[in-house]
């Protein structure tokens, strides 16, 4: 049965309580969806990172020490080594 306020044509106005209730429900749904999205992003990020670590550990061979390079490395001092032209 409809409320008497709706049937009474003399009492027309804005239902502020109804508007506030609808706004509150919308805000609560938005907060719940935002929380679910944040949890999903964190979960999927953790899963992807652990999958990446597992793949990189299983396929990476043991690291070998690299031999010294035959090409000498010079510090940048603004001067060229003896016999070089700039």
Q: What is the pLDDT of residues 43-66, one digit of tens each?
A: 999 888 888 888 887 765 566 677
Among residues 24, 44, 22, 26, which one has the least CA distance to residue 34? Answer: 26
Using alpha carbons, list the distances in angstroms from residue 61 to 6, 53, 54, 58, 68.
77, 14, 13, 8, 20
**Residues 86, 80 contacting (CB under 8 angstroms):** yes
pLDDT of residue 5: 54
pLDDT of residue 84: 66
Mean residue pLDDT across the chain: 79
pLDDT of residue 16: 92
Computed on alpha carbons and rounded to an integer, the radius of gyration of the chain in Å comes to: 35
pLDDT of residue 27: 98
Averaged pLDDT for residues 23-50: 95
pTM, whole model, 2 decimals? 0.47
Q: Which residues contact 80 (CB under 8 A, 6 or more apart)?
A: 86
Domain boundaries, the chain: 1-86
């Amino acid at each position: 049965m409809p409320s008497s306020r709706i049937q009474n044509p003399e009492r027309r106005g804005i239902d502020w309580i109804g508007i506030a209730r609808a706004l509150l429900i919308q805000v609560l749904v938005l907060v719940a969806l935002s929380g679910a999205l944040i949890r999903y992003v964190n979960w999927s990020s953790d899963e992807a990172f652990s999958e990446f670590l597992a793949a990189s550990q299983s396929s990476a061979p043991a690291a070998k020490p690299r031999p010294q390079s035959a090409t000498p490395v010079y510090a940048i001092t603004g001067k060229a080594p003896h016999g070089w032209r700039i």
